[in-house]
Structure 1
Amino acid sequence: MQHSLGLFGVVLVLLIVSCAPAQSQAPGAVSDQPAQSRTMVVAHRYEPANLAPKVLQSNGPLNTTRPFNATLSLIDDKGLARPYLAEALPQLNTDAWRVFPDGRMETTYVLRDHLTWHDGAPLTAADFAFASRVYKDSGLGMFISIPQDAIDAVLTPDPLTVIVQWRTPNARAGSLGFEDVDPLPSHLLEASFTDYTEGRSTAEEFMADTFWTTDYVGAGPYRLERWDPGVQLEGTAFAGHVLGSPKIDRLVVRIFLDENQTLATVLAGGTLDYTCCNSLRFAQHVTLKREWEPSGKGTPVARPSTAVFLFLQQRPEYVGHDALLDLRVRQALAHAIDRQAINDGVFDGLGVPTETPVPPNVPFSPEVDRQMTKYPLDLNRASALMSQAGFTRDAEGLFADGQGRRFYVDFAVQAASEIERMQTVLSDSWKRAGFEVRPVVVAPPVFTRLETRHTLPGLGYAFFTAGEATFQSTQIGTAANGWSGFNRSGWTSPEYDQLSDASSTTLNLTERGSYIAQIMALVSENLPGYALYYSQNVISWVDSLQGPTAQESSEFGQTVRGTTPYWDIHEWRFR
């Protein structure tokens, strides 16, 4: 385990910004060197449906939307918040970050001078206020609800000043980044938004505007030039980018659904310069380490990242077998998870198994480990729990009730060789323990639909990306809210909600960690799902490309913010 945690040991910095010195410098030094007349081709696995970072989507769309967008701050490879569109970040107990006796707060961001959108129009504080109105509109139901659910208003006393008024304390208030209060170009969207709010058009018509896709206008380092759905997105260097025009003048994001195709393309050479975002898996990383790196063609890196988590459906109308609503059955399944077999079968024993989705090197990890309920591999205990729930083994050695009706668990994953291998190993382990497993492999375009993720029966594969907000009752997706929200299991607990609310309004780092430990203890006790291992984030880049590094800060929900994808892409260059 020491070796595994060493692989995981990237620096994590909790973004309680009051603990950090004020920063006014740009995230990267801006060079006078002109852009290189070259194209950088990168491989991503998932194509977003929409280029606005705030739109709720599956499978980490920020990886792809980031190059086309900019916001108030970003997170560097050490986990530090840096000003981006803002001149500086608010510091606690200053005029820029005020906490009032009744618990309300106010943070003030001053924008850099002469900001522009990709179309040349001025980007001003009004674009943040307009975006806030759009994100808070309950009729749209398309946007990530955090932190808008804690914001009362966004004020703009002048074109360069953004004042955010908070109804409760919020630790991230001083480092608002992507997916928080991203600006929207009011000069392009305000008229259509007014038509929607005044009843002249529908929410569907507003969100169907081509602005969100092929005609997107952002403020990031690259301006969208062309989008061939299912194939690639093309961008050109934005000369007006606030941190300077990118050194490489063209970017192509190619979509690869098959990691073996990505591998073959990398090995063939001359086509791909950088791969990330699940376009390669661990098995392909091993091949690159063996066949590609020794010849000096490039660098492959595998770094443990977000925990893989199986959400266990707890809504009766979607659950699959009703016995999954019985805690004893969920505990029995937990005692039959062979994490070492998964590690051996998927990662050749080099992975990082885990029973908790909390990264091992955050300050509150020891407290989480102390409080959580653990379920060591114990088939006898699993059998005893199933017996208590009314199930015994039938003639085929599988659990069935007193009437001979077989217990089963549906198990859905997204089509991908590594994920399917995990599904096979775990399904075999459960079958040997007496559980009938019904594995299903779903094509990415279907699996990534929000409705699919919220209504899967039994178990559904996912990354544990939302941290302490994951199982809030307000995060349950329904048809009424457009299946938005992070709570895909539908499990609810008033105590969880109270602790999560307390955590989100606590500025003190130690107290916040204590609340998260209690939250994760509730999850481990009630088992609305199972953490299995930390996913391996595999990236590679050709030897001629300068800029990418092996270092990256991981994240956990609202408490630990991970490195912004492509945070310094404007500084990347070819030799």
Structure 2
Amino acid sequence: MVLKRSLAVAGLLMTMALGAQAADKVLIGAFDVGPGGNPQKFNPLTASAGFTWYNKYFNTLALYDVNFERISGDLAQGWSVSPDGKAITFNLRKGVKWHDGKPFTSKDVKFTLDLVRNPDLGSVFAPRLDSVTGIATPDPQTVVLTLSEPNTPILDTLTNLMIVPEHQLSGISVKDLRNADWWRASPVGTGPFKWSKYEADQYVELVANPDYFRGRPKLDKLINRYYKDGGAAAIALQAGEIQFSYLTMDQVKESQKNGAFKVVSGASQVLNYLGFNNAEPRFKDVRVRQAMMMAIDRASIVKSLYGGQAVLGNCIYTQKQYVAGDLNPYAYNPAKARQLLAEAGWNGIKGEPLELLTYYGDQLSKDVVATIQAQLADVGVQVVPRFLDGPGFSRVVDSGRFTLVFAGGGNGPEPDTLAPLLDSAYAPPKGLNRMRVALPELDKLFDEGRQETQAAKRPEIYKNICRVTNAKLPWGPLWVSHRFGGIGNKVQNMVWTPAPGGGRYQDNAETWSIQ
């Protein structure tokens, strides 16, 4: 009750602070709570999540539709690819303005892509632009990318890259720009909403952009309210203080008692996995990793803890067209797990307990980790859970000082999305291959997939990647769960899908409204 009262008071004070007028149409949401958020981080060029919010005031060259089936233009009206696949010409929209009134041109696109490729920025997307050898701007509405080799996934990459204004940022050194105040004080974009203000640890307020190229938004203000945890945001949603938040399965069950919002759900496209530090000597023998997989009763966890709101995964991919049919299911078999551990000499090498690191802090995830801990202990593998927030988790795994993680790998319609997590070329500090995977056959297959321009031939390449990872187990695939969002009953036309990292799909926020 104390929490509910404090939230109500906080909501009242925030409304007063915002000075909202009765005539204003204001939508308040907790857009950065949950796995699709990126709490109070403001540089989208170095972010791997938070795009549901970023694309309210920035735009990309291209975006997926809400079903992640097709890429269409955003700031680009269209594009063409040369016959050899080594050049892409983008035709930009005319008449687009930055929020400060300056015209958007091809120079802004070149500036952004050059910025992302500069190692001083530390962008997670830089490795995915390695094939770009030249960026030409023959006129204000045309951009031509020259590639060293065909790069089919590059359009997918561009759905994540928010274009930023050259005239605003060219005077800031790239090193300083990474964490510059500009991102949180006065960012200028081209999106449907304009930056108004940021109250640290409280909220960001955006206001309608009257010059938006798709038309002025129906909402006058869009506010991203910050909460320390998803539970507090869920209570605020139930109380009607906010109109959107991510929800856990437990919160969804609780919501059935309350009619203040509707629940939207869908497959998360995120594979939860047991991540092995591949540089850890105790995991060198694949039989150890196989044993750990067989020690975990995944089917029981999905049924009892997830309430059936998840499906088992034996492949790193979640899309059916990339999942091979001849995979080892690693069915629950503790006796076989003990046998494999004995054959691998585990009793002689086990040493200190393995630390099981995770950034998932909700109660469901804690229950899952506790179950994994108990089941591994049953076969003689001792693990000690350690829960960290996202930034803390990143610091530890980037340093390489870890043994085991419970984490999620975001899939999507483009299978190369997982290359930065598994290709040896992307090991830290260059990329996000934090498990230090180094399998030459895997690297070769990812290269083949990137360079294959015939769509019909690509699935078999990624099925082979599926087979290699299933056999070698650089990750231990567990399951793909559903994710949930709550949208207030008074909200109209809001589109949301549980995409990995949030956003990068066309949600037409300019059409959102509230009664």
Q: Same fold (TM over 0.5)?
A: yes
State the 1:407 CA deviation: 5.9
In structure 2, the residue matched to 1:312 is: 276
Query: What residue ranges of structure 1 are gaps of 5+ in the alignment?
Result: 1-35, 91-95, 197-202, 392-399, 556-560
State the 1:554 CA deviation: 5.9
State the 1:375 CA deviation: 1.4
Out of 131, 136, 150, the position equivalent to 1:150 is 131
Give matches, 1:464-483, under 5 Å. Answer: 464-465=409-410, 466-478=417-429, 481=430
Distance change in 2, residues 1:350/1:61 (3 Å): closer
Give matches, 1:4-83, under 5 Å. Answer: 37-43=24-30, 44-45=32-33, 46-48=37-39, 50-57=41-48, 60-79=49-68, 80-83=70-73
Give matches, 1:554-573, under 5 Å. Answer: 564=504, 567-573=507-513
Note if contact 1:304-1:352 (Cα within 8 Å) is conserved in structure 2: no
Structure 1 window deviating more from structure 2 (563-572 vs 110-119): it is: 563-572
State the 1:70 CA deviation: 0.4
Amino acid at match of 1:97: V
2:385 is paired with a residue whose SS is strand
In 2, the alpha carbon distance for the partners of 1:456 and 1:67 equals: 37
Is the counterpart of residue 84 in structure 1 residue 90 in structure 2?
no
State the 1:467 CA deviation: 2.2
In structure 2, the residue matched to 1:97 is: 81
In 2, the alpha carbon distance for the partners of 1:505 and 1:562 equals: 27
2:311 is paired with a residue whose SS is coil
State the 1:545 CA deviation: 0.7
State the 1:49 CA deviation: 5.4
In structure 2, the residue matched to 1:189 is: 169
State the 1:456 CA deviation: 4.9
Query: What residue ranges of structure 2 are gaps of 5+ in the alignment?
Result: 1-22, 411-416
Runs of 4+, deviation exceeding 6 Å: none
In 1, the alpha carbon distance for the partners of 2:453 and 2:348 equals: 50
Note if contact 2:51-2:502 (Cα within 8 Å) is conserved in structure 1: no
State the 1:239 CA deviation: 1.6
User: Residue deviations 1:472-521, cap 9 Å, x none?
Assistant: 1121113xx4xxx2211001011111110110111222321111111121
Distance change in 2, residues 1:441/1:562 (3 Å): closer
Note if contact 1:330-1:527 (Cα within 8 Å) is conserved in structure 2: yes
Distance change in 2, residues 1:452/1:467 (3 Å): closer
Distance change in 2, residues 1:387/1:340 (3 Å): same
Structure 1 window deviating more from structure 2 (253-262 vs 129-138): it is: 253-262
Paired residue total: 481
In structure 2, the residue matched to 1:548 is: 494
Note if contact 1:73-1:176 (Cα within 8 Å) is conserved in structure 2: no
In 1, the alpha carbon distance for the partners of 2:447 and 2:147 equals: 14
Give matches, 1:121-140, under 5 Å. Answer: 121-140=102-121
In 1, the alpha carbon distance for the partners of 2:381 and 2:157 equals: 46
In structure 2, the residue matched to 1:401 is: 348
Q: State the TM-score, normalized to the length of structure 2.
A: 0.87
Is the counterpart of residue 161 in structure 1 residue 131 in structure 2?
no
User: Residue deviations 1:341-395, cap 9 Å, x none?
Assistant: 32134312332222223224x4233xx232x33311111111111111113xxxx
Distance change in 2, residues 1:241/1:456 (3 Å): farther
In 1, the alpha carbon distance for the partners of 2:284 and 2:478 equals: 21
Out of 317, 322, 325, the position equivalent to 1:364 is 322
In 2, the alpha carbon distance for the partners of 1:562 and 1:37 equals: 27
In structure 2, the residue matched to 1:12 is: none
Q: Percent same amino acid at aligned positions?
A: 20
In structure 2, the residue matched to 1:224 is: 195
In 2, the alpha carbon distance for the partners of 1:417 and 1:65 equals: 28
Structure 1 window deviating more from structure 2 (46-55 vs 222-231): it is: 46-55
The alignment yields a C-alpha RMSD, in angstroms, of: 2.5
1:343 is paired with a residue whose SS is helix
Out of 468, 489, 492, the position equivalent to 2:438 is 492
State the 1:574 CA deviation: 1.7
In 2, the alpha carbon distance for the partners of 1:571 and 1:532 equals: 38
In structure 1, the residue matched to 2:358 is: 413
